[in-house]
Amino acid sequence: MGNMCFSGNRDRVDRKKTDNPATPSKTETLSTAEAPSTTEAPSTTEAPSTTEAPSTTEAPATTETPAKPARPAKSNKHGNVIVIKNAKGLENKLNEAKAAGKIIVVDFTATWCSPCRTMSPIFAKLSKEYSDMVFLEVDVDKVQDVTAKYEVLAMPTFLFIKDGKQVERLVGANDELGKKCKHYSTTHVSV
């Protein structure tokens, strides 16, 4: 095992097992009932609050979409990595990849984890190199239900998922990630 960070997630995993003894195995896909709320942070483009009543010419806040689908991150920093923001986003990507016959590589990461920051550019490079695979990033602190479902206790943790089932797990910052991508890839594109 390489360098890694440990999470306080063990309590969430243990609590989930205790609360629900019929918890699905870690290789099962998420059901729609497990999707978290889609509450979004307030938009940063709103005018600052004042004591005056709001102008009637401003667009009402209800024109925003309540939940944004997972989108590819900026290609200059994250390659073709798609940032997952909730369980429903992951479920959608799992279903899309399964229908297309693609392998998914999920990076469970944390902003405070130094080995995660080390692996991030490597993961982004691999996402460009192996275009036949789907690369997803899950922040363990922001998407805790997915983190607990896959029993992630250390970061970075990389999961390889094929046909909705976990086929490989790598824990820590190590050079096996590139080897595993090559192993599971059907098309290798040099970058």
- State the catalytic residues: 113, 116
| 178 vs 189: CA distance, rounded Å | 13
Residue 169 main-chain phi, psi, to 5 deg: -140, 125
**Beta pairing class for 133-139 and 154-155:** unpaired
- Reduced to 3 states, what is the DSSP secondary structure of residue 154? strand
Q: Could you tell me if 2 and 172 are in contact, meaning their C-beta atoms sit under 8 angstroms apart? A: yes
| 126 vs 119: CA distance, rounded Å | 10
Residue 121: asked if its preceding bond is cis (omega within 30°), the reply is no
Query: Taking the mean position of all CA atoms in its chain, how far away is CA 166?
Result: 15
Question: In the numeric block, which tokens belong to residue 92?
Answer: 């959608």
